[in-house]
Chains A and B, each alone.
Chain A
């Protein structure tokens, strides 16, 4: 961990611990925006990590940001952190300065015609976003652009965790194109990967937290005159969750490492697959262990499990990324083993990182 990273992680931890309470989560779910938390995040530079200082950022890199997102997942932070960072990084790529405002991005195929209202579906935090980046294809061609959200109509909808996932209706769509063609294609692919890597980091954090909750509850709750930890069925749940948590952390550091070396495409895909899978197993076992109490709004388990159920679907679920990898297998002339070891037959080179 770099010194910078350590510093950032420490202050993020402190902010989340102080600010992110169950009450905050409840108020956000019933429609409020966490203004105070957002202010603190802005002041501490969390909203521009990875943006060069020349563009108003605090510097650092994507790995630093992923460390913060990991903690945000652990603490169930109810704010558009990944959405804003993704937008800010994209804008920085095209030379725009970072602003500490909530933003969002959507990836898809967009048809923009003058005079016809444009409906953007499933915009995370759409109702509070000051800007929305759209990336993918625009009128059939690779493109990436931005909308300011002034005067946009919002049809409110929510994800499984109760966070905004809105429809935005833009009556007179006036898009500011950032890029087209090959460059836009690459920027879109990158944005999707940022989304996937970000959600993987957040899920890893949430899984760690769920494990802690399970251990705590199993020690405390008694049935048949003994704590749940004494029942073998419960021990199996805890062991299985711990195993998933360990596998998840391994997948995450593997993909972060590849990402920092600029070769992370396959690893991001594999991490998102593996961690999404773990999200399902861990949530299901954790609920089973908690039984009825875990099905209540009052108990905090759902703050993590509902996020896990949401995040595993976002920026590509297991099916999506498995298909991406399958396509790569079809086009690369590489055996599975060569791809795992990143070493071609007869082409041994030093320094492969496992």
Chain B
């Protein structure tokens, strides 16, 4: 089946040199104490300063046109950058969504004014986005969402609420999927639009939802008569569902779907090597074989996305296999080395283990649950 055949990407010497540059930068900053390695750092590692540092180097929105602050680098360069950041467990959560999907969405469908206004700020690491999809009664069944926008002169008035909004308390804007015409049970995906909501606007209130670790990652966002000017509608009014689905390929196939627990695997391999534990390293080798094949797939999808190809099916597969892999790293490593997992531990292995176990369940939920993804994959395969 040709949909499952992804291109093998061979990195050029220039690309390998770039990897080297990124890695040296990260090593240095870690030594300086700018950041400490954490698992799942793309969801929980917030640091506006670190984002700004990356922005200065041209490492946010690096594939975008120069006129909008980008560096016109290739998708593979961006892939190298992001996988190095994740492998090092660097704090990249602040700008993650803007770089991964909000920016590209605006580049694709935004007006000239929107691109001029948002993109340069994003690339400087000064403008962060959140994703406003889920609502209390609309999770997997997103099309049942209730948040609605009513047309008024010069714009829209939005009422409703979003939930599980990662990073809303750090972000400046939220791309909000809402209803711009009444729900029609027969055409469930019609009548929705994507609006850019300024999170500092009147009528927006953000309430933290405590994560099971006690940390604060996600939020409830209440929208009460929030005015959104016409020029903050993305693409076409009423076409929000389709536009949103296009983002999903970016959202599902990246290295963050395979590397969330990589720092733990790396630390385990280091300790097992130190102890010359061949049996333990053999288990690491099996995990590494999975990671290697996943990474090939994930880079292949990045390459195809750049070529404008439809990769929805392959992207869903990467997320399904990748997030299960992320979880199994913790489950396998805990059996290889004696440990006392704890988020407050001094020992790196204990702390990374605790982060991987406690954040683990979220991997196969966020960005579409495994069950829903498999439905999409099965449909895609059956109709291929």
State the A residues within 8 Å of B (CB): 29, 121-122, 156-160, 162, 165, 222-225, 231, 233-234, 280, 283-284, 287-288, 291-292, 294-298, 301-302, 306, 309-310, 313, 317-320
Contacts and interface: CB of A to CB of B under 8 A. Distances in A.
A306 to B, nearest CB: 7
A297 B338 CA distance: 28
Contacts of B212: 294-297, 301-302, 306
B342 A223 contact: no
Given A223-B140, A280-B331, A295-B211, 16 more contacts: A159-B341, A159-B342, A223-B139, A284-B360, A288-B370, A288-B371, A291-B139, A291-B365, A291-B369, A292-B163, A295-B361, A295-B362, A295-B365, A298-B209, A310-B341, A318-B335
Nearest to A297: B210
B134 interface: yes
Contact of A317 (B137, B334, B357): B334
Interface string B266-287: 0000000000000000000000
Contacts of A157: 342, 344-345
B341 A313 contact: yes
A318 B357 CA distance: 17
Which of A165, A222, A292: most chain B CB closer than 10 A? Answer: A292
Nearest to B138: A223
A313 B339 contact: yes
A122 B340 contact: yes
Contact of B210 (A122, A280, A298, A319): A298
B343 interface: yes
A159 B340 contact: yes
Interface of B: 134, 137, 139-141, 144, 163-164, 209-214, 218, 327, 331, 334-336, 338-345, 354, 357-358, 360-362, 364-366, 369-371, 374
B interface secondary structure, majority: loop
B116 to A, nearest CB: 36
A287 B361 contact: yes
Contacts of B218: 292
Contacts of A287: 361, 365
Given A291-B139, A295-B362, A313-B339, A284 B369 contact: no
Contacts of B343: 158, 160
A22 B22 CA distance: 46
Contacts of A313: 334, 339-341
A297 B336 contact: no
Nearest to A316: B338
Contacts of B371: 231, 233-234, 288
Contacts of B164: 292
A-B pairs with lowest CB-CB distance, top 9: A287-B361, A297-B210, A302-B212, A233-B371, A223-B141, A319-B335, A224-B141, A292-B164, A291-B365
Contacts of A156: 344
Contacts, number: 95
Contacts of A298: 209-210
A76 to B, nearest CB: 13
B327 A284 contact: yes
B369 A288 contact: yes
Nearest to B136: A293
Nearest to A233: B371
A297 B139 contact: no
Given A160-B341, A224-B141, A288 B334 contact: no
A95 B74 CA distance: 75
A165 B342 contact: yes
A294 B362 CA distance: 9
Contacts of B327: 284
B209 to A, nearest CB: 6
B361 A158 contact: no
Nearest to B365: A291
B379 to A, nearest CB: 14
Nearest to A303: B212
B363 to A, nearest CB: 10
Contact of A224 (B140, B211, B354): B140
Contact of A160 (B210, B331, B338, B357): B357
A310 B342 CA distance: 9
Contacts of A233: 371, 374
A278 to B, nearest CB: 13
B358 A306 contact: yes
A284 B335 contact: no
A120 B214 CA distance: 27
A326 B366 CA distance: 41
B183 to A, nearest CB: 12
A313 B357 CA distance: 12
A157 B346 CA distance: 9
11 contacts: A160-B358, A222-B137, A233-B374, A287-B365, A288-B369, A292-B134, A295-B365, A296-B212, A297-B211, A309-B358, A319-B335
Given A284-B361, A313-B334, A318-B335, A296 B210 contact: yes
B237 to A, nearest CB: 26
A147 B331 CA distance: 36
Question: Which residue, of B327, B331, B354, B357, has the highest number of chain A Cβ atoms within 10 A?
Answer: B357
A29 to B, nearest CB: 8
B344 A158 contact: yes
Contacts of A280: 331
A309 B357 CA distance: 8
Contacts of B336: 319
Nearest to B137: A222
Contact of B139 (A234, A292, A296, A301): A292
